[in-house]
Structures are given as C-alpha cells and as structure tokens.
A = this chain, B = another copy of it.
C-alpha cells in the first residue's frame, strides 16, 4: 500500500488527523527510564503503543536520535511500529536536500535503512534534488512549504512575481513534481491564513501541519483553514505536548489522554 493510501486509511479507521511527533529528549524522560541503554526506544515505543489507535501517522524526528548515536533505536522503533501497528504510516522527519547522487543515498537511508513510509524534504535545491525520493513510487515525499518558525518568513515570504515563495513552492509541487500522486507539503499551524492559501492552491494534497501545542498554533483555525471538502487532508502534528504530558511511570497513559483530547479537539472542527 502506498503512503498516501495508508494515510487515507488511517484517517478513516482512527477517525483522526493527529500525527504524533516522536522527538525523544532523554532529559525529559521519567526517572525509571533514565540511564537505560534503550531508553529512547522504550520511551517512544510506549508512546506509540499507547496512541496508535488515535493517530493517522507517527513522525520520528531523526535529529533527536542522531544527536545521541541512537540510529539503531530509531530502526528498532520504526520496525516496532510496522509490526505492532500495521497500517499506521511512519514519516521520517529529516528535511534532507541535496544533489541527485547524494539524494539517492539519503533515499536509501530513509526508505531502505529506516524503512520509513514517507520523508520530509527541503525544496531549496529544486526538482532534481527531489527525484531520487520520488523514484520510490509507493513512498511519500513531504516538501517544506511554509514552516512554523519565526524565521520562516525570511525567505518563504519573499514576493516572487506576484506570489510568495511558499506559494510558488506549493504550486510547483502540486502541478509539476507530483506526477505520481505521492507528494505532500509542510505548512505551519502558526499561520492559518497561509494554510488556507496553500489549500486553495493545491486541491486535496495532504498537508503536514506542525506547530500546535508547544509552538502555539490554534486548532480551530488550523482545521478550518486546511481541511479538504471531505474533512481530511491534514496531518496535524503534536510532539512535546503529548510526549511529555506525564512525568512519571504513567507517562504513556498521560500521553494517551493528551492524544485523545487533541484528536477530539481537532474532530470538533472538521
């Protein structure tokens, strides 16, 4: 099954547009996990097991693993999710971007080594830097468009011939890079008007929306601006607000409660 089909199935089956971001920071782990060699795997797997029926996707952020030499735990985590929760797609949040021959190596990293179903990619280097990922025809390729951070405006908001750079990226991806229907876009929840603008430009293309929760994005505005006619089309990501909802040995139950609350808050506005 392709990434896009898995995502659509998970939207339906779990009645959820929530994506849980797996950004493991051992300094925030409950005391009983700290110091264990496999703490990162154990923490993330427990979160995944506690929330898998409430989400449309999981999104591990590779930097949190790479900073701690924990690539093997990331491989084990994605394998665990595939085995225990088949049908829930895993997005590797890596934001790679390089020339074709190097992008081929990054595609091997994302899709063959880590076995992700989709990967986030930076569009700055243009179409041929994206093609090696698109060559994996069943995988998802999620391009940065309008990011949720303050500096996102430095380049993305520049006017390029009567539209903003992020709008050009949205149009390029939707009309030129998406031949095989495997693309999606990252659009931050901190800018609902721009989510609406992107939605108007790209039809039903899925949008990965970080920035609710710790980053302050508004759920009602995000859903209103980004949903498709079918009330889907969104992967609304929350990481810290779910991962660290609890601080003790009941952290997974606390994460489940936070995920349930967030999923239902999203659903109120679909």
Contacts and interface: CB of A to CB of B under 8 A. Distances in A.
A129 B158 contact: no
Interface stretch (A11-19, A92-100, A224-232): A92-100
B128 A150 contact: yes
Interface string A159-174: 1110001001100100
Contacts of A193: none
Interface string A100-118: 1111011011001100000
A73 interface: no
A147 interface: yes
Interface stretch (A43-51, A64-72, A254-262): A64-72
A128 B190 CA distance: 15
Q: Is the interface of A mostly helix, strand, loop or mixed?
A: helix
Given A160-B160, A160-B165, A109 B66 contact: yes
A37 interface: no
A178 interface: no
Contact of A126 (B61, B67, B155, B172): B155
Contacts of A108: 67
Contacts of A109: 63, 66-67
Interface residues of A, number: 53
Nearest to A106: B63
Contacts of A83: none
B99 A126 contact: no
A63 B154 contact: no
B126 A97 contact: no
Interface string A200-224: 0000000000100001000000000
B169 A155 contact: yes
A124 interface: yes
A179 to B, nearest CB: 15
Interface of A: 23, 61, 63-64, 66-67, 69, 71, 95-103, 105-106, 108-109, 112-113, 122-130, 144, 147-156, 158-161, 165, 168-169, 172, 210, 215
Given A23-B101, A61-B102, 9 more contacts: A66-B109, A67-B113, A71-B71, A99-B147, A99-B210, A127-B154, A155-B165, A158-B161, A158-B165
21 contacts: A23-B101, A63-B96, A63-B102, A66-B106, A66-B109, A66-B113, A95-B96, A97-B144, A124-B144, A126-B147, A126-B150, A126-B153, A127-B154, A128-B149, A129-B149, A129-B151, A154-B172, A158-B160, A158-B161, A158-B165, A158-B168
